[in-house]
């Protein structure tokens, strides 16, 4: 058995390159002037101008000259121009100049720029949990739901685990404890962190001479502290990563109770310890288990997570797990277990830092240099020689007091090498050009920024057209509202699951890239140069380990809002309401294959949508016996099945691969040119009363999909109705993966219940 490592990339930021709508407050030099946001009418764009940017600049120039030409205020360039999220610009104006702008052709509205606080981790906002109604309010922010986190331990002193605002009565079902150990005593638990245990006997048994460096539930790695605070951390003002993503940190379920079960050690990760931790969590009375790890290359009956999560499912405990970081290859997913939730990782709509040219133009880029370095108004050095950044020798001929602009390269490995060369050459700063997400692996050790190839054209034109071009790199800036997002992270493992490919995995996607959450303060979170290590109480980390606790937190909220729902019902609600569209209302893209839209093998049903999951309309439920029927169909022996079920009370009278699952996957043999798959599904009406649903199918390429009946009529709440799906596929080219969906649409448009469909060759597993 090969144990996997926790599913995160340390840290693995991903760049998003398209300009945003979010504004930073800008302060003019004169007391009587202010920054204004000006909306313009796009339909009145004058044809005399080439771009909207030119039009906006002409408006500003006209207010600074003419009748106001003898103003003592220096002319200001645009602060920002906007053409996506809004149409207009921002600039510094006096009250007189503002009136002149109001009289300009195409003016719509203007108002003062407002300083604001970005809410961190920001992902709760990205998922629309901050709406005036919805899942947060329906669940009272997850109050009294208990989430057990199976991980590397916890740093109890973190502000994220304070119990301010928590009710002072722990639910009576809680049977756990706060286990004492090295540098950890019972007083470190409270009404937020209600339990902490550790399990390392498996590690010790494997090596009797091993010395456990931190023999307690205390986290020395940072992973467990990060994931648990993402699930249910309390409100913390002023959290940031060295000034980036600064704001109010909070977990997805900020009023949930947390319990840590430390099973991952610097000395090793063993299945026995994982089983012990899961076992104890179930016994302690948790409602949700969040586990950001997995075991590769093992059958279900040897997988400690599969085994222990079956027991959790029987007791109504929702288990949320990470898909793994083996992407973008297909068939790399672990935790493809039919009775738990498997979560893929996606990007979010946030980026950091900007490049400001000497002419005032601002380029939004990507940098996480962990200091507010002064890289201002320095010469911008651009050589047509593309090898300038490819060796220390070539860079040594460049002036040190300047910002080098490196040419575009398509291979991310070359850009990473360029970074090393520039760092060794000790230039004042550097601008790298790349559209490859992998370029941003790791934090920036050197004052630099990455910009997109599209934006680079503006920079290059400026450098070529000015005799003495200059630039500044701005650090510790945060921009949100970036389009398009989310995208599937390239590292996120893809299905089908090698352990059980007949259920479509992953189930859903959640934010996993650049998630800010609590961290261990004695573990390096950044580095400057080669020898300056920097700690941080909060860290930006990426991986499916970060996506999993987002889904765990949403599951906790659903558990609070619908305590009567089974684990399968909660998973169904999450799957059928997930969105396959990004924030531009286009299909979600796959960063592993940038030219392609993401398939369900990469993102499941799509991005998790908490508020819609609160009221899904229909759910696909399942009983423990339904899952046993799957195991029976696999021809597992009675003993192998018993390792999972722990009880002989189940039977193999009706073996079947066809689980009542909220998605469909049809695998065909490489040797045959056609396939017919029949699926039977039963849905339960969890709406508010009578309802009629009609089927709408988007057929996978090369397939004919028939749904019978095409209409489902419900007379009352909790009534069940069944239907069949017949997929006929004929291989029209070489082996091919195709996908579509089945959507049940309620008459009146209140609910839509969507299930992805995948048709794929069995050989991809």
* Model confidence pLDDT, tens digit, residues 684-704: 999 988 999 999 999 999 899
For residue 569, what is the enclosing H or E element? Answer: helix 567-577
DSSP secondary structure letter of residue 198: E
For position 20, what pLDDT does the model report? 31
Cα–Cα distance, 396 to 388 (Å, whole number):
9
> Does the N-terminal peptide bond of residue 71 adopt cis geometry, omega within 30 degrees of 0?
no
For position 81, what pLDDT does the model report? 56
For position 414, what pLDDT does the model report? 72
Which of the two residues, 138 and 436, has the higher pLDDT score? 138
What are φ and ψ of residue 350, in 5° steps? -140, 145
* Model confidence pLDDT, tens digit, residues 505-523: 999 999 999 999 999 999 9
545 is catalytic: yes
Q: Which of these is catalytic: 223, 334, 562, 751?
A: 223
Choice among 103-107, 287-291, 316-320, 470-474 with the minimum mean pLDDT: 103-107
For position 206, what pLDDT does the model report? 84
For position 734, what pLDDT does the model report? 65
349 is catalytic: no
Among the listed residues 134, 130, 191, 188, the one whose alpha carbon sits nearest the alpha carbon of residue 165: 191
Beta 674-685 vs 618-619: how paired, if at all? Answer: antiparallel
**Helix, strand and coil in the chain, % to nearest 5:** 25, 30, 45
Contacts of 618 (CB under 8 A, 6+ apart): 576, 683, 684, 685, 686, 687, 693, 744, 751, 753
Cα–Cα distance, 79 to 380 (Å, whole number):
21
Domains defined for the chain, CATH in brackets = 2-14+120-348+488-610 (3.40.50.200), 34-114 (3.30.70.80), 350-475 (3.50.30.30), 617-622+659-764 (2.60.40.2310)
As separate numbers, helices (DSSP H) first and strands (DSSP E) second, the chain gives 17, 40
Cα–Cα distance, 504 to 481 (Å, whole number):
31
Q: What is the mean pLDDT of the chain?
A: 86
Question: Rounded to a whole number, what is the distance in angstroms from the first to the last CA of the chain?
Answer: 19
187 is catalytic: no
For position 82, what pLDDT does the model report? 44
Q: Which of these is catalytic: 113, 151, 273, 296?
A: 151
For position 11, what pLDDT does the model report? 42
Sign of the C-alpha dihedral computed for residues 432, 435, 439 and 445 taken in this order: positive
Cα–Cα distance, 69 to 75 (Å, whole number):
9
Choice among 45-49, 272-276, 397-401 with the minimum mean pLDDT: 397-401
Among the listed residues 259, 269, 202, 264, the one whose alpha carbon sits nearest the alpha carbon of residue 232: 259
What ranges in 208-295 are assigned the alpha helix state H?
A: 223-232, 271-284
Among the listed residues 708, 729, 712, the one whose alpha carbon sits nearest the alpha carbon of residue 720: 712
Three-state SS letters, 322-365: ECCCCCCCCCCCCCCCCCCEEEEEECCCEEEEEEEECCCCEEEC
Query: Is residue 71 over pLDDT 60?
Result: no
Beta 341-346 vs 508-511: how paired, if at all? Answer: parallel
Collapse the DSSP code of 245 into the 3-class scheme (helix H, G, I; strand E, B; otherwise coil) and give the result: strand
What ranges in 634-733 are assigned the alpha helix state H?
A: 638-645
User: Cβ distance 395 to 404 under 8 Å?
Assistant: yes
Cα–Cα distance, 570 to 574 (Å, whole number):
6
> Does the N-terminal peptide bond of residue 484 adopt cis geometry, omega within 30 degrees of 0?
yes
Full-model pTM: 0.84
User: Cβ distance 221 to 520 under 8 Å?
Assistant: yes
Three-state SS letters, 80-145: EEECCCCCEEEEEECHHHHHHHHCCCCEEEEEECCCCCEECCCHHHHCCCCCCCCHHHHCHHHCCC
Give the number of other Cβ atoms within 10 Å of residue 392's Cβ.
14
Choice among 240-249, 435-444, 659-668, 732-741 with the minimum mean pLDDT: 435-444
* Model confidence pLDDT, tens digit, residues 608-633: 999 999 999 999 999 999 999 999 99
Collapse the DSSP code of 727 into the 3-class scheme (helix H, G, I; strand E, B; otherwise coil) and give the result: strand
Q: Which of these is catalytic: 292, 484, 545, 599?
A: 545
* Model confidence pLDDT, tens digit, residues 257-294: 999 999 999 998 888 899 999 999 999 999 999 999 99
Sign of the C-alpha dihedral computed for residues 103, 107, 111 and 115 taken in this order: negative
For position 385, what pLDDT does the model report? 58
What are φ and ψ of residue 197, in 5° steps? -135, 160
């Amino acid at each position: 058995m090969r144990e996997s490592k926790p599913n995160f990339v340390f840290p693995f930021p991903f760049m998003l390159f398209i300009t945003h709508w979010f504004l930073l407050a800008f302060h003019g030099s004169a007391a009587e002037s202010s920054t204004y946001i000006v909306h313009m009418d796009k339909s009145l764009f004058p044809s005399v101008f080439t771009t909207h940017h030119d039009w906006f600049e002409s408006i500003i120039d006209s207010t600074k000259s003419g009748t106001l030409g003898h103003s003592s205020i220096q002319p200001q360039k645009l602060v920002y121009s906007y053409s996506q999220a809004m149409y207009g610009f921002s600039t510094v104006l006096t009250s007189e100049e503002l009136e002149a702008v109001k009289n300009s052709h195409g003016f719509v509205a203007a108002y003062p720029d407002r300083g604001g606080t970005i809410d961190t981790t920001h992902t709760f906002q990205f998922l629309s949990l901050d709406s005036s109604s919805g899942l947060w309010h329906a669940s009272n922010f997850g109050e009294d739901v208990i989430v057990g986190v199976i991980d590397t331990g916890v740093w109890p002193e973190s502000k994220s685990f304070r119990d301010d605002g928590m009710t002072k009565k722990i639910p009576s079902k809680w049977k756990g404890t706060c286990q004492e150990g090295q540098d950890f005593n019972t007083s470190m638990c409270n009404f937020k962190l209600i339990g902490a245990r550790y399990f390392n006997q498996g590690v010790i048994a494997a090596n009797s001479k091993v010395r456990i460096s931190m023999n307690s539930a205390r986290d020395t790695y940072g992973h467990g502290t990060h994931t648990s605070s993402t699930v249910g951390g309390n409100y913390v003002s002023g959290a940031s990563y060295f000034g980036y993503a600064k704001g109010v940190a909070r977990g997805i379920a900020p009023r949930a109770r947390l319990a840590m079960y430390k099973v991952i050690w610097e000395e090793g990760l063993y299945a026995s310890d994982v089983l012990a931790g899961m076992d104890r969590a179930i016994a302690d009375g948790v409602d949700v288990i969040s586990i950001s790890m997995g075991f590769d290359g093992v059958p279900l009956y040897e997988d400690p997570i599969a085994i222990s999560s079956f027991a959790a499912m029987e007791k109504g405990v929702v288990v949320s797990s990470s898909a793994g970081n083996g992407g973008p290859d297909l068939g790399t997913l672990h935790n493809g277990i039919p009775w738990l939730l498997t979560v893929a990782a996606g990007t979010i709509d946030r980026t950091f830092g900007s490049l400001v040219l000497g002419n005032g133009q601002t380029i939004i880029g990507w940098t996480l240099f962990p200091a507010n370095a002064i890289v201002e108004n320095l010469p911008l050095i651009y050589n047509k020689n593309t090898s300038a950044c490819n060796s220390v020798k070539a860079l040594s001929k460049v002036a040190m007091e300047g910002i080098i602009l490196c040419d575009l390269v398509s291979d991310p490995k070359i850009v990473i090498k360029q970074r090393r060369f520039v760092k060794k050459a000790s230039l004042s700063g550097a601008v790298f050009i790349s559209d490859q997400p992998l370029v941003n692996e790791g934090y920036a050790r050197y004052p630099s920024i990455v910009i997109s190839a599209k934006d680079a054209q503006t920079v290059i034109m400026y450098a070529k057209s000015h005799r003495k071009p200059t630039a500044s790199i701005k650090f510790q800036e945060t921009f949100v509202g970036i389009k398009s997002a989310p995208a599937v992270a390239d590292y996120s493992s893809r299905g089908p699951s090698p352990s059980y490919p007949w259920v479509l995995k992953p189930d859903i996607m959640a934010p996993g890239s650049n998630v800010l959450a609590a961290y261990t303060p004695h573990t390096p979170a950044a580095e400057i140069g080669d020898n300056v290590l920097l700690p941080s109480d909060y860290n930006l980390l990426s991986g499916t380990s970060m996506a999993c606790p987002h889904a765990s937190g949403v599951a906790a909220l659903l558990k609070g809002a619908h305590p009567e729902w089974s684990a399968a019902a909660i998973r169904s609600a999450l799957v059928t309401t997930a969105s396959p569209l990004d924030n531009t209302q286009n299909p979600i893209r796959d960063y592993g294959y940038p030219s392609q839209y993401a398939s369900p093998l990469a993102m499941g049903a799509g991005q998790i949508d908490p508020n819609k999951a609160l009221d899904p309309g229909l759910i696909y439920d399942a009983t423990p016996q339904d899952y046993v029927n799957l195991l029976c169909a696999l021809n597992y022996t009675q003993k192998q099945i018993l390792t999972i079920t722990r009880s002989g009370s189940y039977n193999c009278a009706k073996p079947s691969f066809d689980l009542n699952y909220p998605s469909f996957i049809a695998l065909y043999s490489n040797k045959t040119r056609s396939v017919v798959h029949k699926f039977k599904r039963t849905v339960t009406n969890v709406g508010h009363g009578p309802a009629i649903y009609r089927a709408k199918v988007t057929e996978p390429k090369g397939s004919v999909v028939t749904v019978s009946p095409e209409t489902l009529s419900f007379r009352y709440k909790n009534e069940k109705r069944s239907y069949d799906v017949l997929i006929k596929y004929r291989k029209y080219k070489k082996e091919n993966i195709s996908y579509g969906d089945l959507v049940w649409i309620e008459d009146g448009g209140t609910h839509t219940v969507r299930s992805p469909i995948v048709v794929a060759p069995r050989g991809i597993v």
